[in-house]
Amino acid sequence: MSTSFKIYLNKQTSAAPLAVFRIGFGVMMLFSIVRFWWHGWIETLYVLPKFHFSYYGFEWVQPIGEYTYLIFAVCGISAFFVAIGLKYRLAIIAFFLSFTYIELMDKTAYLNHYYFISVLSFLMIFLPANAYFSVDNLIKKKTFTSIPKWTIDSIKLLVSIVYIYAGLAKVNSDWLFKAMPLRIWLPSKYDLPFVGNSFMQQEWFHFAMSWSGMLYDLCIPFLLIVKRTRWFAFGLVVFFHVFTRVLFPIGMFPYIMIVTALIFFDADLHHRILGLIKTLLQPFKVNSSKFRTERYQYKNQKIILPIVALFFVFQMAFPFRYLLYPNELFWTEEGYRFSWRVMLMEKMGYTTFKIVDAETGQSFLVDNSDFLTSLQEKQMSFQPDFILEYAHYLGDHFKSQGHKNIQVFAESYVALNGRLSQPYVDTTVDLYKEKESFRHKNWILPFNDEIKGF
Amino acid sequence: MLKKIALFFGLALIVACSSSDDSSKGGATDNFDRSTLLTNLADNIIIPSYQDFAPKLTTLKGSIESFVATPNQSTLDATRKNWLTAYSAWQRLEMYNIGKAEALNQYYYYMNIYPVTVADIETGVSTGSYDLNAPSYHDAQGFPALDYLLYGVATDDAGIISKFSTDANAQGYKDYLMDVINQMDNLTQQVITDWTTIYRDQFVNSSQNTATSSLNKFVNDFIFYYEKGLRANKIGIPAGVFSTTPLPDKVEAYYNQEVSKALSLEALDAVQDVFNGKSFNGTATGPSFKTYLDYLNTNKEGQKLSSLINNQFDLARTEIEGLNSNFSTQITSDNSKMTDAYDALQRAVVYLKVDMVQAFNISVDYVDADGD
């Protein structure tokens, strides 16, 4: 390890930015959980469906009926504890576990920003986010005004990875030279006030949005890091995310990103924010002036640092796993998830399953709505791992009903980014015999087109 | 630095704007007025279809009254003729499960759920206790129940007439028949009144892109009907596509034994006419899914999506025309022709459900969750 790096690791900085970040994160998460509950999505996504699509290797993570609400309650309460900084380490671990469990229950609901939350909360387990302005300070009568600088930088790095990888993913021919899928999505916003009838319909605007979206993602971390451009960059962050919120149903994500971007600012801004919170908390009459103030030092930095380093190596390498697979990534989606590929595709499919008795040749088609919710059917129809898992579920189901010599065949048509729908699955392959694995699924038919780029 | 960034973005914009693309769409503003599409649907297709259907149903009701009053061969023949006329007209309406039709807990549930459950009808006739408003009686009323009562209740015409005249349960049969037609007539009047008084304007003005707007609901209803009401019910289910063996007794108008093909063709025409925005009374076409697709310039490998869809409808029509006029007979003699027709219909489902919906990018009714 070079000495300059050692010096960097020992560098201290104000604890205020991380405290503000912890509060913002906790409040946002609490709000997200409440919102999710309020919309009834726990019921529709996790309790009502008969069958859930699992991640490979995580088949054991299932909703637990009505008790699923309990997991959400744990998640919400731990988010609140994180926000106020009470039993922080325990709270953030509980949050990470409950939130990740929720996300693993059914991949139908997979969203990149949920993955972001999981990854971020994992990182936060190792950060002293309760060092300052937390209830833990009150209990221990001890507060830390400075913390290692790398802890704050690690969050900046994670956020930068997300933006830059999302930007790189946009460097592809569909996005840049066909303005796809924005060209499909934007004109359908015709009922927006002011812009709906004008900008949204114009081709130059679709291209402008595609290109500036790509440039935004690639540049914004640097603009946030450089002090001179920081406020300008923050203005862009707010504009960009609010604008996408108006256009697309993306829930809490824009607000989370806006709050997260505050981490890039210097400590005086965070002190002002905390000052504001203090005036709000005036009625509680907390006197913290007598607390001992210390510099926060890790007792076990030798263990923590390698974990964090490994975490980042993984974060940087994992999105490139798609290179190990043949065929077009957007088509096969092998290595698509967990890679910050956001809003890149307008993809729809229609997939039907035929149950065949291998001996008599008798067959019948399955009505998907007998087994899947509409959202599950929609997601299943164009994602190979869903198709395979569902084929096995159907095979098992009809076997238990007394059918014999079962074969399961799928007929599937998929349309990607405005191309005409085309056959997706080899109709001669018995999917009941195919096993899920990380290997390429050779029963996916070729794309017959090329999308250049990342 | 700021200036450089501004310059950078500016340049990027210029690059973006000038990058060539072969399928450029003209028009600086949104030139497609979706409310004209809805207006064309309402004024030239939907309401005229109801106005055509309602009197035909009233005529049928009149002839049923005559038949019940004097059951004989001539009143039976007249009733059957009017039944078929009304049943054909119905094929133009079944897909409009919107507005009052939907609010009645699905008007079509009371009009055309088949196969009928004969036991429910016979028990109702002999005991006099039945409730046509109950969900369990959906498959014991409407056109399929009339089909049974007018064609299938006995093996020959004399037997059928005697059921309504000399049979011990003759009064029961008469009451049931009258109750069925009254229910149909009553519901139809409610739906048509709603369309011609308040609903027409609501329908036409609800052209936003939301899950509950009439445009989006209509697209969903249209596709749902094509997939379920036409493709599955009329062809797929009887052909055994969804079961291990063919089910020839599940065809539409099973007891009539002559018109299942005619009714299917009428339904397919209805679907295609709605797609093309063709007036009910005439040959003029107006704003429609077809013109909307053409406006969106949905070209697929050099072919217009709207043409692909129309070609596929035509192909399906050719397949159906080649079938026996009684699908039951066709299924028993050569079911492969039925499944061929099914396959032709099926391919259009993909075009409609995947390609057309993707082009419209409508908010589909089933997805209620955040996106990415």
Q: Mean per-residue pLDDT for B195-207? A: 93
| Residues A298-319: tens digit of each pLDDT | 988 899 999 999 999 999 999 9
CB contact under 8 A, A191 and B208: yes
pLDDT at position B14 over 60: no
Taking the CA of residue B184 and the nearest CA in chain A, the distance in Å comes to: 29
pLDDT at position A9 over 80: yes
pLDDT at position B28 over 50: no
Q: Mean per-residue pLDDT for A344-363? A: 94
pLDDT at position B19 over 50: no
What is the 3 state secondary structure string of chain A? CCHHHHHHHHCEEECHHHHHHHHHHHHHHHHHHHHHHHCCHHHHHHHCCCCCCCCCCCCCCCCCHHHHHHHHHHHHHHHHHHHHCCCHHHHHHHHHHHHHHHHHHCHHHCCHHHHHHHHHHHHHHCCCCCCCCCHHHHHHCEEEEEEEHHHHHHHHHHHHHHHHHHHHHCCEHHHHHCCCCHHHHHHHHCCCCCCCCCHHHCHHHHHHHHHHHHHHHHHHHHHHHCHHHHHHHHHHHHHHHHHHHHHCCCCCHHHHHHHHHHHHCCHHHHHHHHHHHHHHHHHHCCCCCCCEEEECCCCCHHHHHHHHHHHHHHHHHHHHHHHHCCCCHHHHCCCCCCCCCCCCCCEEEEEEEEEEECCCCCEEECCHHHCCCHHHHHHHCCCHHHHHHHHHHHHHHHHHCCCCCEEEEEEEEEEECCCCCEECECCCCCHHHCCCCCCCCCCECCCCCCCCEC
Q: Are residues A289 and A400 in the same domain?
A: no
CB contact under 8 A, A418 and B298: yes
Structural domain includes residue A205: no
| Residues B283-304: tens digit of each pLDDT | 999 999 999 999 887 666 678 9
Using CA coordinates, name the residue in chain B closest to A231. B2
Q: Whole-angstrom Cα distance, residue A390 to residue A367?
A: 12
Q: Whole-angstrom Cα distance, residue B196 to residue B176?
A: 30
pLDDT at position A454 over 70: yes
**Omega prior to A128 cis, within 30 of 0:** no
Taking the CA of residue B146 and the nearest CA in chain A, the distance in Å comes to: 29
Please name the member of A39, A228, A415 whose beta carbon is closest to the beta carbon of B355. Answer: A415
pLDDT of residue B10: 46
Q: Considering only residues 297 to 326 of chain B, which have any Cβ-Cβ distance to chain A shorter than 8 Å? A: 298, 300-301, 303, 305, 308
Q: How many domains does chain A have?
A: 2
Please name the member of A41, A343, A367 whose beta carbon is closest to the beta carbon of B242. Answer: A367
Q: Does residue B170 contact residue B161 with C-beta atoms inside 8 Å? A: no
| Residues B88-135: tens digit of each pLDDT | 999 999 999 999 999 998 999 999 999 999 999 999 999 999 999 999
CATH code for the domain defined by B34-203 = 1.20.1420.20
Query: Residue A289 — pLDDT band, cuts 50, 70, 90?
Result: confident
Residue A131: closest CA among A22, A9, A273: A22
Residue B325: closest CA among B237, B249, B236, B265: B265
Q: Mean per-residue pLDDT for A27-32? A: 96
Q: Are residues A282 and A372 in the same domain?
A: no
Q: Mean per-residue pLDDT for B344-358? A: 94
Q: Considering only residues 31 to 90 of chain B, which have any Cβ-Cβ distance to chain A shorter than 8 Å? A: 31, 34
Q: Could you tell me how far CA A104 lies from the centroid of its own chain? A: 12
Chain B residues lying within 8 Å of A41, measured CB to CB: 368-369
pLDDT at position B8 over 70: no
Task: Return the minimum-mean-pLDDT range out of B19-33, B118-132, B212-226, B305-319.
Answer: B19-33
Using CA coordinates, name the residue in chain B closest to A341. B372
pTM: 0.90
Please name the member of A41, A109, A197 whose beta carbon is closest to the beta carbon of B30. Answer: A197
Q: Are residues A141 and A29 in the same domain?
A: yes
Q: Are residues A141 and A278 in the same domain?
A: yes
Interface check for B368 against chain A (CB to CB < 8 A): the answer is: yes
Domain extent listing, chain B: 34-203, 208-362
CB contact under 8 A, B244 and A207: no
Q: Does residue A341 contact residue A347 with C-beta atoms inside 8 Å? A: no
Amino acid identity for residue A91 in this structure:
A
Interface check for A215 against chain B (CB to CB < 8 A): the answer is: yes
CB contact under 8 A, B358 and A184: yes
Taking the CA of residue A212 and the nearest CA in chain B, the distance in Å comes to: 7
Q: Whole-angstrom Cα distance, residue A20 to residue A36?
A: 24
pLDDT of residue B211: 76
Q: Are residues A275 and A351 in the same domain?
A: no
CA dihedral A39, A41, A44, A45 (to 10 degrees): 160
Using CA coordinates, name the residue in chain B closest to A357. B244
Interface check for A230 against chain B (CB to CB < 8 A): the answer is: no
Q: Are residues A139 and A283 in the same domain?
A: yes
φ, ψ at A145 (rounded to 5°): -90, -20
CB contact under 8 A, A362 and B351: no
CB contact under 8 A, A229 and B371: no
Q: Considering only residues 413 to 432 of chain A, which have any Cβ-Cβ distance to chain B shorter than 8 Å? A: 413-415, 418-421
Structural domain includes residue A350: yes
Interface check for B134 against chain A (CB to CB < 8 A): the answer is: no
pLDDT of residue B362: 79
Interface check for A357 against chain B (CB to CB < 8 A): the answer is: yes
pLDDT of residue B297: 75
CB contact under 8 A, B353 and A350: yes
Using CA coordinates, name the residue in chain A closest to B2. A229
Mutate to test the interface with A, among B354, B364, B368 (most CBs of A within 10 A): B354
- pLDDT higher for B19 or B325? B325
Structural domain includes residue A438: no
Q: Does residue B144 contact residue B283 with C-beta atoms inside 8 Å? A: no
Interface check for B235 against chain A (CB to CB < 8 A): the answer is: no
Chain A residues lying within 8 Å of B353, measured CB to CB: 348, 350
Taking the CA of residue B83 and the nearest CA in chain A, the distance in Å comes to: 32
Using CA coordinates, name the residue in chain B closest to A348. B354
Amino acid identity for residue A372 in this structure:
L
Q: Which residues contact B206 (CB under 8 A, 6 or more apart)?
A: B38, B213, B214, B215
pLDDT of residue B31: 66
Q: Mean per-residue pLDDT for A139-168? A: 96
Q: Mean per-residue pLDDT for A86-103? A: 98
Chain B residues lying within 8 Å of A102, measured CB to CB: none
CB contact under 8 A, A421 and B9: no
Q: Considering only residues 126 to 145 of chain A, which have any Cβ-Cβ distance to chain B shorter than 8 Å? A: none
Q: Are residues A293 and A352 in the same domain?
A: no
DSSP 3-state of B96: coil
Chain A residues lying within 8 Å of B29, measured CB to CB: 197-198, 201-202
Chain B residues lying within 8 Å of A184, measured CB to CB: 358-359, 361
Query: Residue A294 — pLDDT band, cuts 50, 70, 90?
Result: confident
Query: Residue A225 — pLDDT band, cuts 50, 70, 90?
Result: very high
CB contact under 8 A, A203 and B25: yes
Task: Return the minimum-mean-pLDDT range out of A38-42, A295-299, B323-327.
Answer: A295-299
Structural domain includes residue A365: yes
CB contact under 8 A, B367 and A374: yes
Q: Are residues A21 and A141 in the same domain?
A: yes
The mean pLDDT value of chain A amounts to 94
pLDDT of residue A123: 98
| Residues B240-295: tens digit of each pLDDT | 999 999 999 999 999 999 999 999 999 999 999 999 999 999 999 999 999 999 98
- Which span out of A284-298, A408-422, B6-20 was modeled with the highest average pLDDT? A408-422
Please name the member of A208, A363, A418 whose beta carbon is closest to the beta carbon of B16. Answer: A208
Interface check for B362 against chain A (CB to CB < 8 A): the answer is: yes
pLDDT of residue B191: 97
Chain A residues lying within 8 Å of B355, measured CB to CB: 415, 420-421
Mutate to test the interface with A, among B7, B14, B21, B30 (most CBs of A within 10 A): B30
Chain A residues lying within 8 Å of B304, measured CB to CB: none
CB contact under 8 A, A45 and B12: no
Residue-number span of the structural domain to which A69 is assigned: 15-147+269-297
Structural domain includes residue A255: no
pLDDT of residue A197: 80
What is the strand order of the sheet A406-416 is part of? A363-365, A347-357, A406-416, A422-423
CB contact under 8 A, A364 and B298: no
Interface check for A8 against chain B (CB to CB < 8 A): the answer is: no
Interface check for B9 against chain A (CB to CB < 8 A): the answer is: yes
Please name the member of B209, B353, B368 whose beta carbon is closest to the beta carbon of A44. Answer: B368
The mean pLDDT value of chain B amounts to 89
